[in-house]
A and B are shown apart, each in its own frame.
Chain A
Amino acid sequence: MNRREFAKLMGVSAVALSGIPLGVTRAVGQTKGGTLNTIIQPEPPILVTALNQQQPTLTLGGKIYESLLRYSPDLKPLPGLAQSWEVSQDGLTYTFKLFPGITFHDGKPLTADDVIFSMTKLLPETHARARGIYSRIEKADAPDPLTVVFKLKSTFAPFLTALDCTTGPIVPKHIYDGTEYRKNPANAQAIGSGPFKLKEWVKGSHVHLVRHEGYYRKDEPHLDEIIYRIIPDSASRAVALEQGKIQLTQWNDIEMFDVARLSKLPNFEMTTKGYEYFAPHQWLELNNRIKPMDDKRFRQAIAYALDLKSMAQRVYFGLPKVATGPVSSATRFYEKDVKRYDYSLDKAKALLDDMGLKPGAGGKRVTIKYLTPPYGEIYQRAAEFIRQSLGRVGIDLQIENTDVGGWAEKFSNWDYEMTGNLVYQFGDPALGVSRTYISSNIKKGILFSNTAGYSNPEVDRLFEEAATSTSEAKRQELYSQVQKILVEDVPVVWMFEQAYPTFIDKRLKNVTTTAIGVHESFSDVSFG
């Protein structure tokens, strides 16, 4: 008996129910059309990615706002709004040719003026990450409506890697110019040029996107509509997936401990691809200002004491890769030939002995407080694992729990001893890696800065030189050098290249074809 029959049995009028498809997607099995049901959680505050860069905002906003470029999984630039681009010999001038016929959702054309306004006026004002990159633009010109020329103040090689839809969303100049950006009433409507536009947002329930008919790419988008349902409870999300009520999950939608079970579902494939641009890197953050963590030997001892392979299996169910250093293997300029910290309790103990940290009563050498990152149950399980591992070498970990607000406040103000951190790499060490280690970025009150307080003039110099060099080979050499130094110093204890399970209905095509993955515009996603 299914729901319809049950309803009849219970005396509910068949007329009242007819015409309501009960959880079945319409128009599937064809290339054109169809409704994609998926999840968004937590509910984003607004959809304008230029004004808010929380992960759910970016996932949803990626369908609404586009940028100049997209990126292949190995981080090579692909056409976005720009169909072609050129970099001058001196590495200072970047010229982009836009596709013709791009329109915003309100029907007005998107031209070079909108690109220049977004990247040189609005984003440097509203977007912390874009500010650091686009404020390097000295001059922007539009020789014709489809051509944008940026001249940088000085060479900055990662510029071409920082034009994705999460960093450089293009907003309509005619709506935002001269207004107070954050208070603009048009923010509610979220007008972009992406393949999908906002139809309805019922707070607490769902966000309904529909096809933008004036989209500039021929025959795209393939889907008619995307419905993002807000399902706050992880068990309910798993049920929605099992019942086929949704056809796609992303990021933390499915808890790692459910992955093995749900991977057996016949209608879904599970992939961890599509996060290459972000390459979330997970590590143990040690406050380098506090004894004994100011001593390199102590930090190395912790690196030896953690059996990361076993932790990847037991806590994260085999999804993530063990990190070998500060740069993710998915990011450009990764160096794999660095010092290794293979699991060894003896080496850890020897280092601690060498420091003079002798075991006291009950084998305890030192007690350290661990502030659990507030990003879900998996982090609590990880904390337990770390506590047990470090306990074996006499480091007594005391676990403290809090929520995002409390964690951010304590961590950013250096009011912590040890915590976990998860930082995106954004495709290039100059964009996502150096910020954690350079001494000019030791900034109290600021998250994702050099919170550990590590300072090494040689590291500063290498990162600086690598960011401004225009030769790929030279950059590789400098980054290899800096990775070797950092791995020797262990300012933080790198643990995992974090992986997220993306469950995709087998009928869906082209979901994770780029390095932006689920944040991508989905213009070429289709059923069948």
Chain B
Amino acid sequence: MTAVSVDAKGGRVFAIALALAGWVVKFIAVVLVIATFNFILVHAAPGDPAQVIAGQSGASDEKLLAQLRAEYGLDKPYPIQLANYLKRVVTLDLGYSYRQQRTVASLILERLPATLLLTATAFSLALLSGIILGMLAGVRAGKWSDTVLTVVSLLLYATPVFWLGLMLVLLFSVQLDWLPAFGYVTIGVPMTALQRMVDIGWHLILPAVSLAAVYLAIYTRLMRSSVLDVTHQDFIKTAKAKGLKQGRIIIRHILRNAMLPIVTVAGMQAGALVGGAVVIETVFAWPGLGRLIYDALLQRDYPVLLGVFLVMSVIVIALNLLTDAIYRVIDPRVSVRAAS
């Protein structure tokens, strides 16, 4: 008996180890493929950083272009540039932006906190309120409160995010003067750590709400239909039949089961949120990663562009993995093997 159980346990550990190893190999392969694609895509755009600098300097000559191209390593053939790049990726070196005279890693690290703060706030806000509002709409399907929620979420879904941002600025900053219109923190004023936190939070409200709006609408809609779906399942009837109270049924049975599609979609969108904040970051002059990418693209700052792409793809892969893990917590039917 004991031997068998040890075997079974050993087999399970082995299966998990195998799954992990397989996952690591896949991860590296995916990252390298992504890095190669990024490289090709980025260099396929016409023009190079030297031309951009010339184009914005009002003067140019052969020497300037040659100097800049040599400095950026653009004087070498593409395959060699690609090989050099992949070599750096493998050694976890993101490279150096000659344009900004900084390492790409430091540029990204500097911008990442602002983006994470913004997107995490917006994401939590959207997810939490989306789930709650969707639940409310779902259990009250067909009633007037459901209709109101549905109409509002449709409107939010259809509103362009930059427009919403600007309208919020017009209302809360220009008209009412309650909230700052742009920026991350009040500049040029000595502040204690606490004051600084409050000040950042103050600046965070408008961009976070604008960014959350669309996602909020999506989660509300999704949660509503998911709740409706689950409500008609047999096990809910059983729960009702055995006399459980409505509140308990909603929380223990409906909510838990209705969450699955939300987790799937949220997992996919969490990745998009990291890079998807470009518009909001631009409207609110929020010093995040999205704007770093956008500027780097216009300037053809290849190392920065490639570095941000790579970091983002790693984040997206990691988030997908996290989604898988959450699945297993919520739904015991999902096994290690199936997820791997």
Contact = CB atoms under 8 A, between A and B. Distances in A.
Interface of A: 1-3, 6-7, 12-13, 16-17, 19-23, 35, 42-43, 45-46, 52-55, 126, 128-129, 131-132, 182, 187-188, 202-206, 208, 225, 227, 229-233, 235-236, 239-240, 242-243, 245, 278, 402-410, 412, 423-424, 443, 445-449
Contacts of A7: 202
Given A187-B101, A203-B107, A404-B55, A231 B194 contact: no
Contact of A20 (B52, B182, B195): B195
Contacts of A410: 46
B48 interface: yes
A409 to B, nearest CB: 4
A6 B176 contact: yes
Nearest to B300: A405
B178 A3 contact: yes
Interface of B: 45-49, 51-65, 67, 71, 98-101, 107, 110-111, 114, 166, 169-170, 173-174, 176-189, 191, 194-195, 198-199, 202, 282-285, 287-288, 291-292, 295, 297-300
B169 A230 contact: no
A506 B62 CA distance: 45
A404 B60 contact: no
Contacts of A406: 45-47
Contacts of B52: 404-405, 408
* Shortest 5 CB-CB contacts between residues of A and residues of B: A405-B47, A204-B287, A409-B47, A408-B51, A408-B55
A35 B53 contact: no
Nearest to A402: B46
B282 A128 contact: no
Contacts of A128: 54, 57, 59-61, 63-64
Contacts of A242: 174
Given A42-B295, A204-B111, A236-B285, A53 B57 contact: yes
A278 B99 CA distance: 25
Nearest to A443: B62
A201 B17 CA distance: 47
A413 B300 CA distance: 18
B123 to A, nearest CB: 21
A22 B186 contact: yes
A214 B110 CA distance: 32
Contacts of B61: 128, 131-132, 443, 446
B169 A239 contact: yes
Given A3-B179, A243-B177, 13 more contacts: A6-B178, A22-B180, A23-B186, A45-B53, A53-B59, A205-B183, A232-B291, A243-B173, A278-B58, A404-B47, A405-B46, A405-B49, A446-B61
A402 B55 CA distance: 13
Nearest to A167: B59
Contacts of A43: 295
B188 A204 contact: no
B54 A447 contact: yes
A20 B56 contact: no
Contacts of B177: 2-3, 243
Given A128-B63, A205-B183, A54 B53 contact: yes
Contacts of A13: 198
| Listed residue (B60, B110, B198, B288) with the most chain A CB atoms within 10 angstroms of its CB | B60
A402 B166 CA distance: 26
Nearest to B283: A233
Contact of B60 (A16, A22, A233, A449): A449
B107 A409 contact: no
Contact of A205 (B71, B184, B189): B184
Given A3-B179, A6-B178, A35 B198 contact: no
A261 to B, nearest CB: 13
Find the residue from A20, A202, A449 having the highest chain B CB count within 10 A: A20
7 contacts: A17-B198, A129-B58, A204-B291, A205-B184, A245-B181, A446-B65, A447-B60
Contacts of B59: 53, 128-129, 424, 448
A242 B181 CA distance: 11
Contacts of A424: 58-59
B57 A54 contact: yes
B191 A448 contact: no
A19 B177 CA distance: 18
Most buried by B among A12, A42, A187: A42
A56 to B, nearest CB: 8
Contact of A448 (B58, B65, B184, B185): B58
B169 A236 contact: yes
A488 to B, nearest CB: 27
A239 B189 contact: no
A23 B174 CA distance: 12
A204 B288 contact: yes
A110 B199 CA distance: 42
B287 A202 contact: yes
A407 B55 CA distance: 9
A40 to B, nearest CB: 11
B104 to A, nearest CB: 12
Contacts of A239: 169-170, 173-174, 181-182
B58 A19 contact: no
Given A205-B183, A231-B182, A403 B48 contact: no
Contact of B198 (A12, A126, A187, A227): A12
A243 B64 contact: no
Nearest to A415: B46
B195 to A, nearest CB: 6
Contacts of A403: 47, 297-298
Contacts of B107: 203
Contacts of B64: 128
A445 B69 CA distance: 13
Considering residues B58, B67, B170, which has the most beta carbons from chain A within 10 angstroms of its beta carbon? B58
A412 B53 CA distance: 13
B58 A412 contact: no
A17 B201 CA distance: 12
Q: Which of A132, A187, A233 has the most CB of B within 10 A?
A: A233
Contacts of A233: 282-285
A147 to B, nearest CB: 30
B314 to A, nearest CB: 21
Given A204-B292, A208-B188, A446 B53 contact: no
A188 B287 contact: no
A409 B58 contact: no
A106 B253 CA distance: 70
Contacts of B202: 7, 12
Given A203-B111, A236-B181, A407-B47, A229 B191 contact: no
B56 A404 contact: yes
B56 A55 contact: yes
A477 B63 CA distance: 34
Contacts of B199: 20
A446 B60 contact: yes
- The listed residue with most A CB atoms (<10 A of its CB), out of B45, B187, B287, B297, is B187
B285 A409 contact: no
Contact of B299 (A45, A202, A231, A448): A45
B78 to A, nearest CB: 16
A205 to B, nearest CB: 4
Given A131-B63, A203-B111, A243 B181 contact: yes
A526 B180 CA distance: 26
A408 B54 contact: yes
Contacts of B65: 445-446
Contacts of B282: 232-233
A423 B62 CA distance: 18
Nearest to B45: A405
B115 to A, nearest CB: 10
A236 B284 contact: yes
A404 B173 contact: no
Contacts of B170: 239
